[in-house]
């Protein structure tokens, strides 16, 4: 008879503590999801300069920024180097690069494309800082920092062998 009594009794399930956990956990996860944002930057491979050159008119400027270990070179793919920016005491001078590219933008306001060419051992931090210097102008308007597009369509590629190292 004792086995019949065990079967007949209903066990109460106490899920109060689990419900308390869910009441706290769900809003916490929803609030954190709002602050998580992923920044995606659209880049493209450099366009090939060869092919049907006779069919397309030449662009006035095909801007390239080459990042080497000890300097930055701003060049036009069609005419060659425009300016060499030597490194400062803290490494690459991205401020000087940004200032020079502002001058280039005033001379060629319709150009939006630029290619960043990197040496094999270039650090990720140098890549990002170079791309930022090429893409945007940071200035202050009425005491508020503002950003303007410089050359927003950035392509990435490999830099040619550094001529200063005696490479071919």
pLDDT, tens digit, 9 for 90 and up, residues 146-157: 888 888 888 898
**pLDDT higher than threshold 80 for residue 8:** no
> Which of 54, 70, 59, 165 is closest to 115 using CA atoms?
59
**pLDDT higher than threshold 60 for residue 32:** yes
**pLDDT higher than threshold 70 for residue 27:** yes
| Average pLDDT of the segment spanning 7-31 | 83
Structure token pair of residue 2:
């004792």
pLDDT band at 46 (very low <50, low <70, confident <90, very high): low
State how far the Cα of 7 lies from the Cα of 21, in Å rounded to an integer.
31
User: What ranges do the domains of the chain cover?
Assistant: 60-160
* pLDDT the model gives residue 70: 86
pTM here?
0.62
**pLDDT higher than threshold 60 for residue 69:** yes
> Which of 81, 88, 102, 94 is closest to 133 using CA atoms?
94
| Cβ-contact 114, 155 below 8 angstroms | yes
Q: The domain 60-160: what is its CATH number?
A: 3.30.420
pLDDT, tens digit, 9 for 90 and up, residues 88-97: 888 888 888 8
**pLDDT higher than threshold 50 for residue 168:** no
**pLDDT higher than threshold 50 for residue 104:** yes
Instruction: Give the whole-number percent of the chain exceeding pLDDT 70.
Output: 77
User: Which residue has better confidence, 45 or 132?
Assistant: 132
């Amino acid at each position: 008879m004792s086995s019949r009594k065990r079967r007949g009794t209903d066990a109460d399930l106490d899920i109060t503590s689990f419900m308390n956990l869910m009441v706290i956990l769900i809003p916490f996860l929803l609030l954190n999801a709002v602050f998580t944002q992923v920044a995606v930057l659209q880049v493209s491979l450099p366009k090939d300069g060869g092919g049907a050159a006779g069919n397309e008119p030449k662009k006035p400027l095909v801007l390239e920024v080459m990042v080497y270990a000890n300097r930055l070179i701003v060049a036009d793919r069609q005419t060659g180097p425009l300016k060499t920016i030597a490194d400062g005491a803290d490494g690459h001078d991205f401020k000087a690069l940004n200032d020079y590219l502002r001058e280039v933008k005033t001379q060629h306001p319709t150009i939006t494309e630029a290619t960043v060419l990197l040496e094999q051992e270039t650090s990720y931090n140098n890549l990002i800082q170079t791309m930022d210097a090429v893409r945007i102008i940071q200035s202050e308007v009425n005491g508020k920092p503002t950003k303007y597009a410089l050359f927003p369509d950035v392509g990435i590629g490999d830099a040619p062998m550094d001529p200063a190292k005696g490479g071919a």
